[in-house]
Structure 1
Amino acid sequence: MNSLRRRLILLLVASIVGVVGLATAAVISVRGGGPPPELTVPWIAQQMEMVVRLLPGPIPDVLRVQFADHPAGGKVARAETAMLNDILHRRGLDFPAVVNEKPDEPGQIASMHLPDSRWAIIEVPHLKPPRREWLVLAGWISLIVAGATAVSVYFTSVLIRPLEMLEAAVSKIGSDGVLAAVPEVGSAEVKATAHALNQLSSRLRTAMESRMRLRAEFLDDERDKWLHDLDELDRIADSAIRLVREEVNQDAVEAVDLAKTVRDIEAEMVSLGHAVSIGHLEKVCVRAGALGLRRALRNLIVNAATHGKACRIDLAATDNRAVLTISDHGPGIPPELLNKAFEPFFRVDPGRLQSIPGAGLGLAIAKEIIERYGGTVTLENRRGGGLEQTVVFDAV
């Protein structure tokens, strides 16, 4: 939960700071650090008009005008040039003028051709940024980050509060395998999960009570069947609880030696009497939670060894991918049911309920874990009989 909290906070802070930063950059880009030409160009036109009126007499220093035989250099600012010539024309001064960008520093400079063939050159006012502008910018960014962090922490707490309630409810599952009632509040997804858990708990309780009452009436004659049904219900409840916990509990992601994990599982399966063997095995690592990945692969191998009588495990590293193949010699799965094999409580033949223990959640749990860590798992019937389970991860 703490990991999810941190990710949400970082995402919100980055989003808020990014948006405000882009908006600030856009404003600075549009303003360009100086006053708009609608304020500066009329002032330049007025200064030039005063220069023309004072000629051929002396020009006061207060006008800060220079004279040259040619206009100032630099890139022509077309919009300001057009605006300046239009204002001069409306004031009765039909002398060509031009506004240029300064070549070596920010700002502009205006030039007007005088009647005596000289050029009057006047600098366009340019507002420089305030002193210590980097200090001001740093303070601005700090305020944004502080405010964004406070807002993000608050809303993240609001968002994950229902998930914390869900985790707390799962951790309080009783010894009877019944899940405590989960408050159906929060977002639509959390409400749907809580509703499904409450329905599952209610159905398990109802089924257990009904079967116990029914078997109790025939206890003397069917004691063994009654005990078998209780064991089956216990397995179903245990599998359902593990599936829920897989959704809530996530171990840390790290580089996992897939070959070593396969060898450890194979040794465990052989010690339990399963016919499991290892074929071609290459050393390759993947990024996943070590405990979760081991649980997922163990479920797949147990499924193959149980329903397929015996299975073989192969591991290859190709094209920066780890490809794990689990092949068995069983009856396989009818093609029309392959896309349903990963559904909870799925069984090819409901009649297996009495002969092979299990609740039908092993493949569902395995698929959820594998996909959580970025992998894929697929099923395919083998030619000549049997089922092939293929797990693919990006190698590291």
Structure 2
Amino acid sequence: MNTLRAKLTALLVAAILLVVLLATGLTFLLISPPRFEAAEDATASQFALIVDLIASRPEAAAVASGDFIGVKAAAAGGPVAQGPTRGMNAALRRKGRSEQVIVSDPPGARSPVISARLGDGRWLLMPMSMAPPPDNRGWALAGWMLIFALGTTAVMVVAVRRLTEPLALLERTVAAIGPDGELAPLPEQGPTEVRAAARAVNLLSSRLKTAMESRIRLVAAAGHDLRTPMTRMRLRAEFLDDHERDTWIADLDELDRIADSAIRLVREEVEDSSRSPIRLDHLVRDVTDEIGEIGMKAALTSHSPVTVLCRPLSLKRAIRNLVINAATHGREATVRVATEGGRAVVVIEDRGPGIPQELLARVFEPFFRVEAARGAPIPGAGLGLAIAHEIVSRNGGSLTLRNRAEGGLEQWVTFPIAADRPAAPI
């Protein structure tokens, strides 16, 4: 009921039903009620005429023209209709008659029957010209309302579905966008509105793809072109004295790392290699061993065998960036691999100062650094977390950071488990 289509359908159905109910009520108010008194007066006049004719010829025999008409030995019988009985007696009194009649609905009669006792003890029976109300009038009204409501709802569902199909198409399109941000072309077919929506989405997708490719080419070209002047500057620095040369070389190394990180980030965005099942615990173990061999404190404290579907080289680069980040800024990295809730989990913890809570939402932005929170300035381009986040997302996983209650930072990497698939060697 929270969808636009359901709300719009309910609104239109309720509006139509309300209008019909108001129109029906107004119709009942405007239409004059039946004039029962006029009909009763006419019937009373006929009844009085017949009674007077019979009284003028008391020797007349019983009229046998029907079961419920003529002079009979007994009343018609059946349940008494109280309303018509009171109405007929009132009409007779208005005409100055003293007779008392009974209006009843005898079994087998097609209309109410008037029974009046004559002076000689016989009964005068005559049909009353008023059709009885239908027995199922309540069910008929309920059925009419039910059919009208169902018909209105069906028509509105079809109409609203057609009207909101472009919005539904946009919703399905957005849901189909993968981690790479690309969208398969939509078929431009169907009603006019759907074709127009599909055409607009395809045009938007094409323009976004062109813009992304232009940005990627620009960053790659800039990173590549920076290397030529940096090489000339490095050669010129060799002719400086030792102190100035070391400063120049350190700055050039920093520029080289920034350019190299930017190119790697761009390559991650355009990489489209296929994914294969990999033992995540083996990959993490290899990364911690490599980092430990270069003198950084990193240890795999616990691990469970688990297989994920990923691009092994890029995922290994991402895990390496995260572990180095913890070992560098947090003094020591402890890593564990586990399975939780049907997903593979890699948790990387450190003992550093953590990151201010208000800055956690920005840590995956390119070139964003938090030196004030993480301690002394450390050389780097500020792209390590951005690259790791891009790699993890493109491999179908998620990366989140949170501060530990006892101090330090926690990096959580989660992936869907690739069940019943043999892992490829790393």
TM-score bucket of the superposed structures, by smaller chain: 0.3 to 0.5
Give the TM-score, by structure 2 length.
0.45
Give the TM-score, by structure 1 length.
0.48
Structure showing greater Rg: 2
